[in-house]
Amino acid sequence: MKRTIKKIPLKIDTTIDIYRFGGDENGILIVAGVHGNEVTGIYAARKLIELIEENGCETPVTIVPVANPIAFSCRTRSDPRDGLDLNRAFPYEDKEGPSHYIANCIWSLTKDATTLIDLHSSDHLSAIPYVVCLYDDEPSKKLAVSLDVETIVGGRENKGLLFAEAARSGIPSILIELAGEYGIYNEEQGEWLARILFDFLMNKESTATHNFYGNIMDVHSPKKGILRLPIEPGQKVKKDDVIAVIEEEEVFSEHSGIVLRTAEQSMIKEGERICSIALD
């Protein structure tokens, strides 16, 4: 097994570490830490590196465990030096500033890759893992079903998203969401995903039963108060089901689908997210 570790210097006294395995030729790119406070994806990438170092891997793969290092150090979503959302900055545009320099680095790796897998974590600890892909892009859909992740949802083609821009450039691309919250990570899901990604790199066929859903709809609290949740992530709900109770007032679902993530049972403010539902 050939392994190289490279530190890519930027113009802003920052370096991005990349790990290459399986040779120098272009191959699969796995990126984590685009948002610095989404630590479960970073943890999964680091555990994957450990698995490869322990067991070997002939598949050419490049892993970027922390794409946004200053944001990670500060436990913030964005680099505090400019406050820009890195996952809205792709493909790279010729602009100055920390996030644009990082975008240039990551995009230069992306455009040479055969496949992109972008690891993120939800801003809720109560969440199930799921894959996001563009359903109208058949290579990306084929990539999604090659992994042992059961829940697949349709992605929005928002400008600037790394996985969406890569797919539009002809690179099979998906985004994977895990549980996590503002710098808190889910160890179990991180290790689970690392093993799934390792099996994928070892060309093991997926044995999962894949379930496809539409776009994600967020449900927000109509008032402040003590939140009680009669639902949990992974549960199927139907339109008009009770999905929350706030100060004895019931909140009904406007959609049918699967619950991807929920807030904690706590004090909730008006407008805060109660849960996210992927539509049937």
pLDDT tens digits along 245-272: 999 999 999 999 999 999 999 999 999 9
**Can you tell me the distance from the alpha carbon of 218 to that of 176, in angstroms, rounded to the nearest whole number?**
18
Question: With a threshold of 0.85, does the pTM exceed it?
Answer: yes
Higher pLDDT, 15 or 49: 49
Cα–Cα distances (Å) from 170 to 31, 147, 154, 215, 261, in that order, read: 18, 20, 18, 22, 31
168 token code pair: 């539009």
Residue 98 preceded by cis peptide, ω within 30: no
Considering only CA atoms, give the Rg of the chain: 19
62, 114 Cβ separation under 8 angstroms? no
Q: Residue 96 contacts by C-beta under 8 Å, 6 or more apart in sequence? A: none
Main-chain phi, psi angles of 261, to 5 degrees: -160, 155
User: Residue 25: which pLDDT band, with cuts at 50, 70 and 90?
Assistant: confident
User: Residue 5: which pLDDT band, with cuts at 50, 70 and 90?
Assistant: low
Q: 276 - beta bridge partners?
A: 218, 261
Mean pLDDT of 131-156: 95
**Is the Cα torsion angle 182, 113, 15, 83 positive or negative in sign?**
negative
Res 97 pLDDT > 90: no
Domains identified in the chain and CATH numbers:
3-213 (3.40.630.10), 216-279 (2.40.50.100)
Q: Rounded to 5 degrees, what angle do the CA atoms 150, 196, 8 make?
A: 120
Residue-wise pLDDT for 226-235, tens only, equals 999 999 999 9
